[in-house]
Structure 1
Amino acid sequence: MTSKTVDKALSILDVFTVDSPTWGLRELARHLDMNHTIVHRILSTFEEKGYLYCHPETKKYQLGIKFIELNHVVEEHLNLFDLIQPIMKNIALDAGESVVLTILDDEEGVFVKIVESDQKVRFAESVGKRNRLFIGASHKIILAYLPRHIQIKIIDQGIQDGDRHIDSKERLLERLESIRGKGWCYTEGETFEDVAAYSVPLFDNRQMILGSLSIAGPRYRFSQEKSEQILPMLKENIEKLNSILSKVYFPSRRNFSTTKFM
């Protein structure tokens, strides 16, 4: 199998997301601007191996059970979440809001663990959801700790795509500098219109940015009084989490984060 074939196969898997979990053969070929026959061959191979499942009636493809097995392998190998879960649960109980662990992967943030609060109205997101790093506190705090040339690259791409979350490149860069100086980030109405979040950074064993820990919920519950309680809760527990994360290697794509921030 050539590297081009592998690249095409992986680009097909990449389009199966929380927002777009099912795809038909023709719409997938159009979306990727890829030859229909090649797409069909790759889909058939993935289906045969259990990585994809084709619904017999709709003829649409979705991710298969094989990914649940692989996810279990990753979690067992890392053995991280058994250590992280109690910390996140304690924060969720104390704050009365959802707690979110976000990990940097390539140039996006991925929600890898969410501990819900016991409130009726909660943070409405799902594990595996990806987003650009200039959207929401949990992602923006990560962007603040990346090298300046990577920040500019990510922001320029967002501007080129006409993303509504960037009103000014200069103002966003200034805000990122301010976030980095404070060591925390607050946003409201970015990921969802009625959601607010406080986030603090997480670092790996090389003291490079790994991700973030956030407390999130409906913004009407984030009063000034409650906000003053949330940051100490996060900062109180962040050392415990960083201590755990500094002892392992998290298998996410972060090669560019080894460059010194300028």
Structure 2
Amino acid sequence: MSSKTVSKALSILDVFTPDRPAWGLRDIARELEISHTIVHRLLKTFEEEGYIFQNPETHKYELGIKFIQLSNTVEERLRISDLINPIMKNISVETGESVVFTVIDNEEGLFVKIVESEHQVRFAESVGKRGPLYIGASHKVILAHLPDEVQDKIINQGFLDHAPQLVSKKSLLETLEFIRQQGWFYTAGETLNDAAAISVPVFDPKKNVLGSISVAGPSYRFTKEQAEKVLPVINKYIDKIDDIFSKVFFPSRRDYLLKNIT
């Protein structure tokens, strides 16, 4: 199998997201601009190996349970639950809100772990959700600590995509500088209309940004004033979190580290 075929096969897997977990063959072909014949052949191969199945009622394709096995393998090797879950639970108990661990992966933000609050109304997002780094506190604190060249690339792509959240590149760059100086950031209504979060960055041993830790909740309850009150709780635990990632390599795709940009 050529590298080009492998790339096409992987691009098919990438279309499956929490927002759109089921796809028809023609929809995939149209989305990726790949011929129906090639898509059909690759889907059948994935189906035979258990990575994808075709729902007999809708006739659409969905991810198979093989990915649960792979996810468990990664989780077991990293021991993320054992290491970071107790800290996230402590933060959640002390703040009364949900706690979210986000990482940078392929120049996007990826929700890796969420500890939900015990409130009936809580932060309503899911593990595995991706988003651009110019939206939301959990993403912006990551973007703020990326090299200038990478920031430009991500922001420029946002404007090319006509992202409605982007109004002015100048104002966004000023916000990112403010985040670097302040060390944290709060947003409301950016990732979700009714959600708010306060976030701080997480770094690896070489002080390269890896992700962020956020406390999040419904914006009517989690105002900026309330968020600032929980900031000391996050800061109390952030050194422990950084220490964990000084001992455990987290395999997110941080392409900026591979481009000799410092």
Calculate the TM-score normalised by the size of structure 1. Answer: 0.97
User: Identical aligned pairs, as a percentage?
Assistant: 60
CA contact (8 A) 2:216 2:222 kept: no
1:236 corresponding residue in structure 2: 236
Any residues of structure 2 matched to 1:183-194 within 5 Å, and which?
Answer: 183-194=183-194
Amino acid across the alignment from 1:60: K
Any residues of structure 2 matched to 1:15-164 within 5 Å, and which?
Answer: 15-164=15-164
Q: Deviations over 1:90-125 (max 9, x none)?
A: 111111110000011011010010000001110000
1:3 corresponding residue in structure 2: 3
- Cα 1:223–1:16 change in 2 (3 A) is closer
CA contact (8 A) 2:136 2:187 kept: yes
Q: How many residues are treated as equivalent by the alignment?
A: 261
Any residues of structure 2 matched to 1:183-262 within 5 Å, and which?
Answer: 183-223=183-223, 225-257=225-257, 259=260
State the secondary structure of the residue aligned to 2:23. Answer: coil
> What 5-or-longer segments of structure 1 have no aligned partner?
none
CA contact (8 A) 2:196 2:223 kept: no
CA contact (8 A) 2:9 2:42 kept: yes
CA RMSD of aligned residues (A): 1.2
Q: Deviations over 1:158-207 (max 9, x none)?
A: 11111011110011011101101111011111001121100000011222
- Cα 1:32–1:255 change in 2 (3 A) is closer
Residue 260 (structure 1) shift: 5.1
Q: 2 CA distance for matches of 1:128 and 1:70?
A: 14
Residue 226 (structure 1) shift: 2.3
Amino acid across the alignment from 1:163: A
Calculate the TM-score normalised by the size of structure 2. Answer: 0.97
Q: Deviations over 1:17-36 (max 9, x none)?
A: 01110001111111111100
Residue 154 (structure 1) shift: 0.5
Q: 1 CA distance for matches of 2:205 and 2:16?
A: 31
Q: 1 CA distance for matches of 2:106 and 2:193?
A: 26
CA contact (8 A) 1:147 1:257 kept: no
Structure 1 outlier segments of 4+, above 6 Å: none
CA contact (8 A) 1:100 1:213 kept: yes
> What 5-or-longer segments of structure 2 have no aligned partner?
none
Amino acid across the alignment from 2:38: I
Determine if the alignment matches structure 1 residue 179 to structure 2 residue 179: yes
Q: 2 CA distance for matches of 1:220 and 1:245?
A: 34
State the secondary structure of the residue aligned to 1:69. Answer: helix
Q: 2 CA distance for matches of 1:224 and 1:60?
A: 43
Q: 2 CA distance for matches of 1:226 and 1:34?
A: 49
Q: 1 CA distance for matches of 2:220 and 2:255?
A: 39
CA contact (8 A) 1:146 1:257 kept: no
Amino acid across the alignment from 2:53: Y
CA contact (8 A) 2:186 2:227 kept: no
CA contact (8 A) 1:185 1:200 kept: yes
